[in-house]
């Protein structure tokens, strides 16, 4: 655990991903208000704006992927397994640390999203009421989404082990495949990972059928657990050469 934290602190990638995520949030929140789609009378507008903190869970996912596949890429995995030959422990430590990192990522992103939303609402002569509009529940969903996706990322990284392939598969799934699968399976589409993440924010999206917030939390946690199990079981046996 300690080592995983040290590994994170001694490279620049996590900070760069975090910075990129904040830029995306600023742009996304601004976009919502600039485009004029924002109906200030709608109580969901503020929640929809801060929900951008959840969308950047894609960056948490990539961070998780890099945690394992990055070690194969730079061949530091050999050293890691020499130090901890019980590989299940290595993966378990990574899952734990990255879930927490996902939480931190989500919290920082939430702060950015809330700040950006508050500024825009003030500009538009409104104000952000943290207490009454369910903003907190949306933010909690965003944080949970980041945490689950970071853990899922560790699983994907352990399975695919090639950084570029793993990131490509993950992004292709989110951008393309989940949409297609969603159409094929109809109602069951609510249970897919990205859709569950959206549901976790507790904000209705027009034309998208979502699970209730708690259901989504459970589904995403289950995805994380499945990926964790697959990650541990595939990692233990494979040759490292």
Does residue 13 touch another protein according to CB under 8 A? yes
Does residue 240 touch another protein according to CB under 8 A? yes
Cβ contacts of residue 85 below 8 Å, gap of 6+? none
Q: Break the chain down into helix, strand, coil percent, rounded to 5.
A: 80, 0, 20
Q: Is 65 exposed, middle or buried (0-12, 13-18, 19+ CB in 10 A)?
A: buried
Which one among 37, 43, 74, 229 touches another protein, defined by CB under 8 A? 74
Distance CA 195, CA 192 (A): 6
CB of 93 to another protein, least distance (A): 10
Does residue 205 touch another protein according to CB under 8 A? no
Within residues 218-237, the interface with another protein by CB under 8 A covers 237
Q: What are phi and psi of 10, to 5 degrees?
A: -95, 10
CB of 31 to another protein, least distance (A): 33
Which one among 35, 36, 41, 85 touches another protein, defined by CB under 8 A? 85
Cβ contacts of residue 169 below 8 Å, gap of 6+? 156, 160
Q: Per-residue string for binding with another protein, 14-53, x by CB under 8 A?
A: ----------------------------------------
**Nearest CA-CA partner of 151 in 231, 44, 48:** 231
Tell me which stretch binds another protein (CB under 8 A): 3-11, 23-31, 137-145, 220-228: 3-11
| Residue pair 110/53 in contact by the 8 Å Cβ criterion | yes
CB of 5 to another protein, least distance (A): 9
| Residue pair 46/133 in contact by the 8 Å Cβ criterion | yes
Which one among 37, 39, 42, 79 touches another protein, defined by CB under 8 A? 79
Does residue 7 touch another protein according to CB under 8 A? yes
Does residue 89 touch another protein according to CB under 8 A? no
Does residue 84 touch another protein according to CB under 8 A? yes
Tell me which stretch binds another protein (CB under 8 A): 1-9, 48-56, 151-159, 205-213: 1-9
| Residue pair 76/165 in contact by the 8 Å Cβ criterion | no
Can you give the three-state secondary structure of 187-226, one letter per residue? HHHHHCHHHHHHHHCCCCCCCCCCCCHHHHHHHHHHHHHH
Tell me which stretch binds another protein (CB under 8 A): 9-17, 112-120, 172-180, 192-200: 9-17
Tell me which stretch binds another protein (CB under 8 A): 53-61, 71-79, 112-120, 129-137: 71-79
Size of the site for another protein (CB under 8 A): 25
**Nearest CA-CA partner of 116 in 207, 208, 25:** 25
Q: Is 133 exposed, middle or buried (0-12, 13-18, 19+ CB in 10 A)?
A: middle
Give the residues lining the site for another protein (CB under 8 A). Answer: 2-3, 6-7, 10-13, 70, 74-76, 78-86, 237, 239-241
């Amino acid at each position: 655990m300690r080592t995983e934290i040290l590994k994170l602190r001694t490279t620049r990638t996590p900070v760069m991903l975090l910075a990129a995520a904040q830029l995306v949030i600023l742009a996304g929140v601004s976009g919502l208000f600039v485009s004029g789609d924002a109906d200030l009378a709608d109580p969901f507008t503020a929640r929809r704006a801060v929900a951008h903190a959840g969308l950047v869970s894609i960056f948490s996912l990539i961070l998780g992927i890099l945690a394992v596949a990055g070690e194969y890429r730079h061949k530091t995995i050999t050293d890691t397994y020499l130090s901890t030959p019980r590989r299940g422990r290595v993966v378990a430590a990574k899952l734990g640390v990255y879930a927490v990192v996902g939480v931190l990522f989500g919290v920082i992103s939430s702060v950015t999203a809330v700040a950006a939303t508050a500024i825009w609402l003030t500009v538009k002569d409104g104000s952000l009421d943290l207490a009454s509009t369910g903003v907190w529940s949306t933010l909690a969903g965003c944080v949970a989404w980041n945490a689950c996706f970071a853990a899922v990322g560790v699983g994907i990284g352990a399975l695919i082990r090639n950084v570029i392939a793993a990131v490509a598969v993950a992004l292709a799934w989110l951008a393309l495949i989940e949409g297609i699968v969603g159409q094929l399976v109809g109602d069951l589409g609510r249970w897919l990972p990205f859709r569950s993440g959206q549901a976790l924010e507790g904000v209705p999206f027009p034309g998208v059928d979502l699970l209730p917030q708690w259901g989504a939390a459970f589904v995403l946690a289950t995805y994380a657990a499945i990926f964790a199990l697959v990650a541990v079981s595939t990692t233990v046996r494979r040759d490292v050469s």
